[in-house]
Amino acid sequence: MKSLAEGAGRAAHRRLSCFAAITLLATSCSHWSGEAPVALSAAPIDPPPSAQTPDQQHAELTLARLPAFRRGLALSGGGVRSAMFNVGVLKALYDAGRLDDFDVVSTVSGGGYAGYWLYANEQTRDGDKTTFGAGSFEGDLFQQRVCELSRTGNFQTYVRMGRALAALRPSRASIAGYEWGLRRTFGAGESGTTTIAGLAAGTGTRWPYLVMNATVHDEPPRTGQWLRRLFEFTPLFRGNAGYGYWAWNDSSPPLYKLTAISGAAKPLLAQVEMLPSAGAPLRVPLFDGGKSENLGAVALIRRGVQDVTIVDAEHDPFYQFEAYRILRGGLAGYGLRLRIDALEPAQPRTIRPDWPSAAFHGHVIDTATRRSVSTVHYLKMGISLPVRAQLIAEREESSLGAASQRGLDRAQAKACVPSPLSRPTEIWAAYNAGSYERWLNERNAKARRINRIAPEAGKIYFPQYSTLDQSYHLDQLRAFVGLGYLEGRELIASLPRGHN
């Protein structure tokens, strides 16, 4: 067993060395993209956030078979780290019987990876499809789904990432490789023909209305341009307040392609959406939705969703809550006030926040009428004191764990077949998150050396692991899924009494 552990350790050190090289390349080549820092303005523009026509709003609700969008879920950007954390949160919501309660799901970038995976599993599974999420989370099937993710978690290899970063202009090959990786890892075996418009009628059952968010690249982040930069894809239309909302004609692009646009962190991976116009079609270059609003919350708030749950898994090593501050500032320009008392003011914290809970609650208020627009439940990826106690209680000395667990890992890597979990999901989650956290944060000398020389975007603590790493391995992947599950349970437990 010693040789197994040593071999795994050598592999882990090799992947950290590769990651360090990619980090330096990414930061040194960032000027090639011509990407300006994004500083969103709170200045109002015309039209306001709720710029859809009444007919468009009515069509969305009719499609969703609802009198109103009452409850919405926003999954933030943050690459593969965010995707895996969100998978864990979704599992917790499913186990509590709450995932099926959401009327609308809004995703950005890495949150879109998790959304693509969730909807693809629903599309491809057999049997009863009335309970949303059963294709990913029901019983022992969850173990199989996580195993399948771990087999393909290396979805953007370091070689492919290096080639993309070294390119001087957008490359079809780089975009095709990115899309192929998304389908392979998160597509759940779907054929590549699943479209967002197809989700409207999909199964004859009501699934949450899906909104995927992107950013218009050619719109500079200057005063008054926020809503011209935000761009939505939904089962009914694509567009924004500045360019207009355009219905799909005969078909919409494959879901994996929209996921790739929403997650294209560099303009080198931007793609063009053609919108109708009086003359020639309008070319709109689109890329990472997180470059305008990384939480996906605007899509819910502007629709007047009454109860909004936000999962914030962006890279935030000092817990400055930048995504929250950007959302708050942007909404203020439209006469909406977002306030979560526990986050006011959002001051820099430590790597290990001493939170009694990672879940916070607040409201969005219309400042003109003093009317409540939305109640907000905000889950921040971090390790609260109760979760830390769980991690310490269940962790092993290394991220690989005991010999029996290593044997299970090897068997699952060969063939992902449903089998009973060897331990309750909560214990499984704490074991994986706690073991990996101890290995990376306390036992890994190479990680400490990388953190001394790497820029902020490249530091690799758990859970604030750099978004630049798009190549996750078994222990790493399970750790983020596990942490998401534990914090998702914490969110559910923190909801106000009477919330249902």
- Any residues with CB less than 8 A from the CB of 490 and at least 6 apart, and which? 357, 358, 359, 379, 384, 386, 387
Q: Pick the more confident residue, 466 or 360.
A: 360
Specify the length of the chain in residues.
500
Residue 497 pLDDT exceeds 60: yes
The tokens describing 432, both together, are 């994986």
Residue 226 pLDDT exceeds 80: no
Closest CA relative to residue 300, chosen from 308, 288, 311 = 308
User: Cis peptide before 317, with omega less than 30 degrees from 0?
Assistant: no
- The string of pLDDT tens digits covering residues 60-86 is 888 777 888 999 999 999 999 999 999
Closest CA relative to residue 227, chosen from 72, 40, 399 = 40
Helices 141-151, 474-494: inter-axial angle, 10-degree rounding: 140
Residue 50 pLDDT exceeds 70: no
pLDDT (mean) for 30-55: 41
Query: With bands split at pLDDT 50, 70 and 90, how would you rate the model's confidence at 221?
Result: low
SS3 assignment, position 208: coil
Query: What is the Cα Rg of the chain in Å?
Result: 21
- Any residues with CB less than 8 A from the CB of 33 and at least 6 apart, and which? 266, 267, 268
The DSSP bridge partners found for residue 239 are 232, 245
Closest CA relative to residue 407, chosen from 388, 422, 428 = 422
- The string of pLDDT tens digits covering residues 86-119 is 999 999 999 999 999 999 999 999 999 999 999 9
- Any residues with CB less than 8 A from the CB of 449 and at least 6 apart, and which? none
- The string of pLDDT tens digits covering residues 272-303 is 888 877 677 888 889 999 999 999 999 999 89
Q: Report the distance separating Cα 206 and Cα 101, nearest Å.
A: 11
Q: How far is CA 85 from CA 81, 241, 339, 486, in A?
A: 6, 31, 25, 10
Mean pLDDT over each residue of the chain, to the nearest integer: 79
The tokens describing 436, both together, are 């990996």
User: What pLDDT does 400 receive?
Assistant: 47
- The string of pLDDT tens digits covering residues 297-322 is 999 998 999 999 999 999 998 888 99
pLDDT (mean) for 238-266: 86
Q: Report the distance separating Cα 321 and Cα 343, nearest Å.
A: 8
In this structure, of 22-36, 178-192, 216-230, the range with the lowest mean pLDDT score is 22-36
Q: Pick the more confident residue, 248 or 5.
A: 248
pLDDT (mean) for 238-253: 83
